[in-house]
Chain A
């Protein structure tokens, strides 16, 4: 059995995602949790790069890993309370969560592996930057100017809402 370079990269990214996403929710310390989330987001960006979506990988790196994680770390530092550093979790909660997630994951993986998807194993070419730009800025069918504008209004509303909620009175 031969393993090519892209398969090795995929296996590495998959291992990082699985291990770090489980560690994210099982570790007791919240700052470590945020750090493991950062690793998961890096590996997800790697998955995007591996699928030849470089633009999406770059967006993932800048917005998630560069923006959101910094926000998390700052808010963890701002809200650190003595009782909140190590949180205690009730056993019944752990049992309920474990049963729900393991059973759900088993069902979903079973369905995924048994469902006959149309076979296509070829990863296509890189999406051209010009194609992305015209699709994002056009108003015709399969073009996305309206969602783009809606997202910008949403971001503006979110900025105003964040200032209003978090400012000192």
Chain B
């Protein structure tokens, strides 16, 4: 079993390392598309630097952004995966290994002690979110490197239902124009709508894990995504926040049923260097990475 665990740790460490270096295919495609739509000198200043940086990061195998974030894993665990007992400890070990190998920045500061742990693990960190998939043998793991700049606009709030969707939109737009500008746009907006603050917040983060441009399961929900994207783009924040034609990678909304007396909204933002990756690990430890075609781990 030790040998198997070692292999699992190594695979997860390499997955974590790669996620800090190479952006997912859909984000890269979107950045090139957005870059092509900008003509102003100031917008070009930002996109030229961004695309040059990503090329250098890939060829030197270095983290494309120095803020490699607090490391978060979102696990969809098949109930019949042989690795359920090992996974939590394997993920912690993988973080330590990836921090040393890549290297990743030391980003875990213990609360109250106010000391950086120096290896990106600490109390409840890496953050691991679990969901069980019945009758399934695979581990499906998303990683998100939650940087400081793109986490700062994050917020959730419980509104009264009569504030309506107008209240939801006011909350989102105020956060984006006050804090989003400094969060390295073009941004991906994750919006959660639910009955309480923590559910809305969690759904807003899960919304960031969806492929760029994917649609909300509800027709009206998707219509709202499209309309919000058009409206935020029309504000003209642009790449880097100093003006431009487009400001967003996209808008993803996720929802849960709400209480009749509450309307909660959560917002999470991802920066242009949206370090999300997805790996599916089979029982024989063979794997695939839907977000990164041709990846070698």
Is the pairing of A and B real? no
Binding site for A on B (CB under 8 A): none
Binding site for B on A (CB under 8 A): none
